[in-house]
Structure 1
Amino acid sequence: MRYERHDTVRSSEFRILDVPGALVPAVRKLAFTDVDGHWSRSFPAGTPHLERAWLTFQRLIEPCLRQAAGLDPVPWQPALTEVCRRLNGAGVDWWLAGSAALAVRGIPVTPGDLDLIVADRDAHRVGDLLLDGLIEPVAPADWFCRWWGRAVLGARVEWVGGVGPAADQPETTDFGPAAAARLEAVRWQGHEIRVPPLELQRTVSARRGLTARVQLIDTQRRRTTPAGRRQPSRP
């Protein structure tokens, strides 16, 4: 693969050229735009850490894509350990969503990345704290959130900041304000991590047609008492 950068007075575009066929689905999955024979992601000119992100992008985007394509394993556990160490140590207001939020409960799923929801005021701080792995600088997002960033700490780490009511429209999600109002704390490898309610993640998984995941969640719920404690193992 080759990489190019195209700057204008308004934006900076990171381009990938000559993408192998096996990686094209991963490029699409990571929301790159197919334009005139290359794939691109664009950021406003003057975005903080733009120069550093460009250098890191060229170094880490291929292993990132290989993981997203299922060609290489995703070392999500050491990546999450590093996220906890850096963000908790800095007092960042964040919580974990997606499949990783199930995995830290002990549900046997393999996350493809780490999805973080952070407070509006902390979105840029996360970019600072993950600077050595930053492949997309924290930039405004015209979406359900105000900010978006992406880094690679062995595994892909993506975060959104300033999530608003649009996240729960037209249906409630496990990453919007409804989930944020009902967060639960779990202990994982010595860290306390906030995650969405398991019931809500089940609802979202069922809506998405993830039957196997729903079954895994139901198994976990049967092993848990109404008070939230695991039942003792049988001898």
Structure 2
Amino acid sequence: MSLVRYRRHDTEFRLLDVPDELLPAVRKAGFTAADGHWSRSFPFAVAHLDEAWVNFQRLIEPALRQIAGSEPVPWREALDEVCRRLGGAGVDWWLTGSAALAVRGLPISPVDLDLVVADADARRVGDLLLDGLIEPVARVDWFCRWFGRAMLGARVEWVGGVGPGADQPEITDFGPVAAGRLEVVRWEGYEIRVPPLALQRAVSARRGLVERVRLIDRQPRTTPP
């Protein structure tokens, strides 16, 4: 696999000659296919674009191999780094997705860490995770205003400025409804905010994740501290 940085109206991080075994991972990571390559695009003026490109060249293949399931995902070490760096800087963030279930003690092996960050802190997270930044924090036209991606041994992805659209047409575990009902879980000496277990169960059921629903149903219910 070869990598190219292409400049036109914006900047593209391109993957060429992707091995067949990594193609599903490339698609899952949100790369766009065009003219024999796969790319992610960013505005010229975005902060840390050069640093992200340097890191991208070094870290994107391990990230894709983790997505493909061919390499282990050291999510615990990555989460420890996130807690230490963001907590020490006073960032307003919380954890969602499979990792939010794993920190509750469910026997789940997350493939990445999904963070929801306050609008005002989204770009600062890019500063704090700069050594692993593989996609600069950029504005997006999505259910949120910002998106960034880093590789700290495991992938860390965050959204900032999440709006009401995240809970349309159905309530999610990363939207304003979840944000208004967060619970605190103690993990490895840290206090981590996560969505309510019942909400994550509903989302998992809707996605057809039968085994995950079974694991949630077996989890003892406790009162959040």
Same fold (TM over 0.5): yes
- Indicate how the Cα distance of structure 1 residues 102 and 111 shifts in structure 2: closer, same or farther if over 3 A, else same: same
**1:130 aligns to what?**
129
**2:221 aligns to what?**
224
Per the TM alignment, residue 46 of structure 1 is displaced from its structure 2 partner at its CA by 1.3
- What is the DSSP-based 3-state SS (H/G/I as helix, E as strand, rest coil) of the residue aligned with 2:218? helix
Please tell me whether the aligned partners of residues 185 and 224 of structure 2 are also in contact (alpha carbons under 8 angstroms).
no
Per the TM alignment, residue 7 of structure 1 is displaced from its structure 2 partner at its CA by 0.9
- Indicate how the Cα distance of structure 1 residues 115 and 127 shifts in structure 2: closer, same or farther if over 3 A, else same: same
**2:190 aligns to what?**
191
Per the TM alignment, residue 224 of structure 1 is displaced from its structure 2 partner at its CA by 2.8
Per-residue displacement from partner, 1:113-144 (whole Å, max 9, x unpaired)?
00000000000000000000000000011100
Please tell me whether the aligned partners of residues 11 and 41 of structure 2 are also in contact (alpha carbons under 8 angstroms).
yes
Larger Rg: 1
Q: Distance in 2 between matches of 1:81 and 1:135?
A: 19
**1:7 aligns to what?**
7
Q: Distance in 2 between matches of 1:184 and 1:228?
A: 6
1:105 aligns with 2:138: no
Per the TM alignment, residue 228 of structure 1 is displaced from its structure 2 partner at its CA by 5.1
Please tell me whether the aligned partners of residues 184 and 224 of structure 2 are also in contact (alpha carbons under 8 angstroms).
no
**1:169 aligns to what?**
168
Per-residue displacement from partner, 1:71-106 (whole Å, max 9, x unpaired)?
001000000000000000000000000000000000
Q: Distance in 2 between matches of 1:23 and 1:106?
A: 30
State the AA in 1 paired with 2:17: D
Normalised TM-score (structure 1): 0.94
5 Å-filtered alignment, 1:71-86, equals 71-86=70-85
Normalised TM-score (structure 2): 0.98
1:146 aligns with 2:145: yes
Unaligned runs of 5+ in 2: none
Flag as ranges the 4+ runs of structure 1 deviating above 6 A. none
Identity of aligned residues (%): 72
Q: How many residues align?
A: 225
Unaligned runs of 5+ in 1: 230-235
**1:205 aligns to what?**
204
Q: Distance in 2 between matches of 1:228 and 1:14?
A: 43
- What is the DSSP-based 3-state SS (H/G/I as helix, E as strand, rest coil) of the residue aligned with 1:87? helix
